[in-house]
Structures are given as structure tokens and as C-alpha cells.
């Protein structure tokens, strides 16, 4: 095919990919795609439409910045942080969960972690070691590829399925068929979902909670995009509606809440693992024997697992997060309004793509059309996700293959965070050329 319409010719892209030693571009990681796009931009000076990495595209929250500066000026950072976290953050985390989820979790059970990645890493360890014979993780996919990479490091087995065809009541039969073996230690999903932006609904979370109790599995609910289902009026403290959560249906849960997206504070690596009080206090002889400690889940999680990974979280950032959570509870921050721009971007970007022959892959939740937000998914004709990824690179658009997220659908994930107003006409022109070169019925 001629390169007339392409922004980057095949020869140049091949040269860059080879120079970066990327063995399989179709199934490249987010980091590898980022390197290719950056190298092409640097070589040519031509801007990419960056839809690859899910990095915040908004200014960091000023309240957090000022609180962190004050903590630095106080001199407190000369001391090591407590493994369980500074008291003010734990107290504000408990308050935040009550205000925005209407769930009661005590301050002692809200544990700061260096980002959601550290929260899931520690949770995988504690969950798969607590009971003999329960040593496997179940992913409700599509999902965050890094979590499977963590299991590879740890040598933990997993199973997964693509939820695409198992929404609503169909989810129960599918989950039960995978959990009845009795070896599932944890169930993992994100809600809203990375990469598909689908949202699990109350019926589905009720099913997950019921089966978590029946088969004694811990649900790891990743809430990195907390309250960012912009179809609903979420985000008003102490007022319904509250976001759906499995915490209403089981006590076997760990909620992972991050400062990265809702407060655009990603660079400081700060999140929370909020463990139900019932799970926090549960005694596991396996943990006691392995670590020579009390065997109490929460205490082992903090002192024998998490501390060995990060030795606590940066003290000043804990004060920043605490102040942002406090401000949200006191309505001095409206983090939902602040992040709604992602939905606006998604709506504009989706229209450009669908006007030019693309379709939304994960287009429906169990009972309604999928919303607009931080991510969306795209397919084109009969192209596989890998083929589409490679072709879009030639038109100056970077993304990731849905296949790398555990999806069985053909397509790619697009992120809205780095889109700018001046790039919409650029994207439209490039996708018009793409359609011209790739005609579909």
C-alpha cells in the first residue's frame, strides 16, 4: 500500500520499532507503544494523537500541593513514616469512604500505599497465602495488564474471562463455573473499567459478593476512576446516589482508591487499600505460620507484606492526600466536576472515529449504553486489535491492543487524557485519510 496518506511511512515506523528492540508490535505493552510514539515525534517533529498511556491530563490539585508543601516545611519528613500510615490520612480516608460510598470502614483499616499498583501487589500476596489450597486469582476482564505482570513476578497462577458476553444474570453462572473448584483466592476487576469503561451494576456486584462469601474469596475492587461514571449524579458527600460497590454485598473485600485520576496527583504515587473491618480482623493460621506474626489479616498485610515492598509511603504526600480527601468531604473540592472534561473529550473523539467507519467495541453495560469517560474502545471492520494498532501508528495515533488486557474482542483501547482542543481537527483529517485507505462496508 502506498504511503501517500500516511503521517509516518512504513519504513520509518519499522526502523523505529527495530531500534527499540520491540519483538511484537501488535501485542506491545503500553510502555513500548509510548516509546515508539515518542521516538517518531522526536525524529520528525510531527505530533502524535496520544491515546496510549492513561496518565492524567489535568493540573494537579492545588489543595494537595499546598498541604504537601506545609508538611515539608514542618520538618516531619526527617522521620520514617509509620507502616500503617499517618493518622490524619487514615481518619480522612475513613470519612471519605463514608461520605461518598456510604460504607463504614474504620480508620485503622484504611492503609496508604505507593499507588494502586502497590495496593494490588500486596493484596495478591496476602490473599493467596491466607488459606491453604486457595492460591489462584480470578480476573474479570478486560483489565489492567500490569496486575497480571505482578502475578508473573510472584509466581501466582490466575484464570480470567472476558465479561463481554456475561453481563447481568449471566455473570453468576460464569463465575460459579470458575470458582467451584475451590482454589480462587481473590476476584479482581476495575469499576469503571480500564480499558472498556463499562460499569458493573448493582445486580452484578451482588452476584460477585454472594459468590465471594460462598467460596471465601476476597474481592479486590479497583476504584481508580472513582465516581467517574458521569451518567450518574455521583460525588455529593453524604448524599445518594452512591457509586455501586461490592462492599454492600460482602465483607470479603479490599477497595483500592487512588489519588492519581480523581485529584490528578499521579506523580506522587499515593493510594489507599481500604480493607473491610471484618476481613482486617480475621485470623489466618497460614499467615501466622508463614510470617511468625499474629496471623491477623490486616496486621500481616501492613507489617509483614506491604512494609517489605515500600517501607511506608512518602510522609508529605500522605498529608496532601489527607487534605484533598478532607476538602472533598467538606465540598471545597468537586473532583467529579473537575474530571468531567474527560467525558467531553471522549464524546468528541468517539464521534470523529465513528464518523469515519470505526465502531465502539464495548458499547453497552448490562442495561444501558456505556458512558463517556477516561477510556473507550474502538474496532474497525474485520481488523484484529494488533492490526489496527499498527495501522493507526502510521496515521499518528497511538493506542493499545485490547488483546493485551484480557479481552477476547478485536479492537484497541483509547485514552482521552492527553487530548487537546487543537488536536481535534488533526485527528479528523488523519481518520478521514485512514478511512480512504481502508474502505469498509
At 208, phi and psi to the nearest 5?
Answer: -60, -45
Model's pTM, two decimal places? 0.95
What is the distance between the alpha carbons of residues 85 and 111, in angstroms, rounded to a whole number? 6
All domains of the chain, ordered by start, with CATH? 10-58+338-437 (3.90.1150.100), 62-329 (3.40.640.10)
The mean pLDDT value for 95-100 works out to 98
Residue 203 vs residues 172, 206, 247, 365, 399: alpha-carbon distances, Å: 10, 5, 13, 12, 32
Sign of the C-alpha dihedral, residues 64, 67, 73, 76? negative
Q: Is residue 3 pLDDT above 70, yes or no? A: no
Kindly state the cell numbers that stand for 296: 491477623
The mean pLDDT value for 230-254 works out to 97
At 171, phi and psi to the nearest 5?
Answer: -65, -35
Residue 281 vs residues 73, 121, 156, 310: alpha-carbon distances, Å: 37, 20, 25, 23
Q: Is residue 4 pLDDT above 90, yes or no? A: no
pLDDT of residue 283: 98
**DSSP E strands, 234-290:** 253-258, 271-275
pLDDT in tens, 114-125: 999 999 999 999
pLDDT of residue 53: 86
Percentage of the residues of the chain whose pLDDT score is greater than 90? 95
DSSP conformation letters of 302-318: IIIIIHHHHSS--HHHH
Pairing of strands 136-141, 157-162: parallel
Q: Is residue 2 pLDDT above 70, yes or no? A: no
pLDDT in tens, 84-95: 999 999 999 999
What is the distance between the alpha carbons of residues 381 and 105, in angstroms, rounded to a whole number? 47
Pairing of strands 184-190, 218-222: parallel
Amino acid at each position: 500500500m502506498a504511503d501517500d496518506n500516511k503521517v509516518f511511512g512504513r519504513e520509518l515506523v519499522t526502523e523505529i520499532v527495530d531500534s527499540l528492540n520491540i519483538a511484537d508490535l501488535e501485542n506491545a505493552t503500553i510502555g513500548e507503544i509510548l516509546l515508539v510514539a515518542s521516538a517518531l515525534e522526536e525524529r520528525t517533529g510531527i505530533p502524535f494523537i496520544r491515546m496510549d498511556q492513561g496518565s492524567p491530563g489535568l493540573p494537579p490539585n492545588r489543595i494537595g500541593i499546598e498541604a504537601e508543601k506545609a508538611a515539608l516545611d514542618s520538618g516531619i519528613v526527617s522521620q520514617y513514616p509509620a507502616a500503617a500510615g499517618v493518622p490524619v490520612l487514615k481518619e480522612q480516608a475513613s470519612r471519605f469512604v463514608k461520605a461518598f460510598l456510604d460504607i463504614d470502614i474504620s480508620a485503622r483499616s484504611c492503609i496508604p500505599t505507593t499507588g494502586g499498583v502497590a495496593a494490588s501487589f500486596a493484596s495478591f500476596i496476602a490473599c493467596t497465602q491466607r488459606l491453604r489450597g486457595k492460591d489462584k486469582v480470578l480476573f474479570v476482564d478486560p483489565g489492567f495488564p500490569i496486575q497480571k505482570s505482578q502475578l508473573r513476578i510472584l509466581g501466582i497462577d490466575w484464570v480470567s474471562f472476558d465479561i463481554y458476553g456475561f453481563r447481568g444474570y449471566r455473570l453468576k453462572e460464569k463465575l460459579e463455573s470458575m470458582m467451584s473448584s475451590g482454589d480462587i483466592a481473590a476476584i479482581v476487576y476495575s469499576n469503571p473499567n480500564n480499558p472498556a469503561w463499562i460499569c458493573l451494576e448493582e445486580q452484578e456486584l451482588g452476584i460477585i459478593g454472594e459468590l465471594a462469601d460462598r467460596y471465601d474469596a476476597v474481592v479486590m475492587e479497583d476504584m481508580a476512576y472513582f465516581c467517574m461514571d458521569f451518567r450518574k449524579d455521583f460525588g455529593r458527600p453524604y448524599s445518594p446516589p452512591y457509586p455501586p460497590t461490592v462492599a454492600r454485598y460482602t465483607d470479603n473485600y479490599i477497595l483500592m482508591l487512588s489519588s492519581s485520576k480523581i485529584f490528578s496527583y499521579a506523580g506522587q504515587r499515593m493510594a489507599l487499600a481500604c480493607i473491610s473491618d471484618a476481613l482486617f480482623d480475621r485470623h489466618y493460621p497460614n499467615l501466622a505460620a508463614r510470617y511468625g506474626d499474629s496471623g491477623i489479616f490486616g496486621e500481616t498485610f501492613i507489617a509483614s507484606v506491604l512494609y517489605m515492598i515500600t517501607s511506608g509511603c512518602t510522609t508529605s504526600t500522605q498529608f496532601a492526600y489527607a487534605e484533598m480527601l478532607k476538602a472533598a468531604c467538606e465540598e471545597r473540592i468537586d473532583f467529579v466536576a473537575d474530571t468531567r472534561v474527560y467525558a467531553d473529550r471522549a464524546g468528541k473523539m468517539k464521534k470523529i472515529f465513528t464518523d469515519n467507519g470505526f465502531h465502539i467495541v464495548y458499547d453497552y453495560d448490562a442495561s444501558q449504553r456505556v458512558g463517556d469517560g477516561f477510556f473507550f474502545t474502538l474496532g474497525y471492520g474485520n481488523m484484529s486489535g494488533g492490526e489496527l494498532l499498527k495501522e493507526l501508528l502510521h496515521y499518528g495515533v497511538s493506542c493499545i491492543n485490547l488483546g493485551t488486557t484480557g479481552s477476547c474482542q478485536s479492537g484497541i483501547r483509547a485514552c482521552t487524557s492527553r487530548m487537546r482542543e487543537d488536536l481535534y481537527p488533526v485527528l479528523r483529517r488523519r481518520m478521514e485519510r485512514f478511512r480512504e485507505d481502508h474502505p469498509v462496508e
